Amino acid sequence: MIFLLCVNTMCSQNSLLLKVIRCNDSLRDDAIGFSKTILYRNDAVFHIDSSSTSNKYYENIPGGKYKVKYQTFFSSEMSSEISIPDKKADWPFFKINLCIDIINPSIYKKSQNLFFAKIKNGEKILIKYSYAGCFNSGVDSITILKNKDKLYLLHNNRRRKIKQKELTYLTDFEIEMRNLLPVNFFSTGNSRNTITYNGETFSFDEPSGFWSGYDYLKKRLKLR
At residue 22 the predicted structure's pLDDT band, cuts being 50, 70 and 90, is: confident
Give the residue numbers spanning the domain of 59. 2-102
Domain co-membership, 49 together with 144:
no
Instruction: Please give the order of strands across the beta sheet that includes 137-147.
Output: 158-161, 150-155, 137-147, 124-132, 190-197, 200-207
Instruction: Please enumerate in sequence order all residues whose Cβ is within 8 A of that of 129, keeping only pairs 6 or more positions apart, or say none.
Output: 139, 140, 141, 191, 192, 193, 194, 214
Stretch 18-26: mean pLDDT, rounded? 83
- Percent share of the chain, pLDDT over 90: 58
The number of domains in the chain is 2
pLDDT at 6 over 60: no
Shared domain check, 89 and 116: no
Same structural domain, 93 and 146: no
Task: Give the pLDDT confidence of 193-207 residue by residue, as tens digits.
Answer: 999 999 999 999 888
Report the mean per-residue pLDDT for the chain: 87
The least confident of 40-49, 131-140, 144-153 is: 131-140
CATH of the domain at 8: 2.60.40.10
Same domain, 69 and 136: no
Reported as a single tens digit per residue, the pLDDT across 86-109 is 999 888 999 999 988 888 888 888
- 36 and 58 together in one domain: yes
| 27 and 93 in a common domain | yes
Query: Is the Cβ–Cβ distance between 70 and 53 less than 8 Å?
Result: no
pTM of the model: 0.81
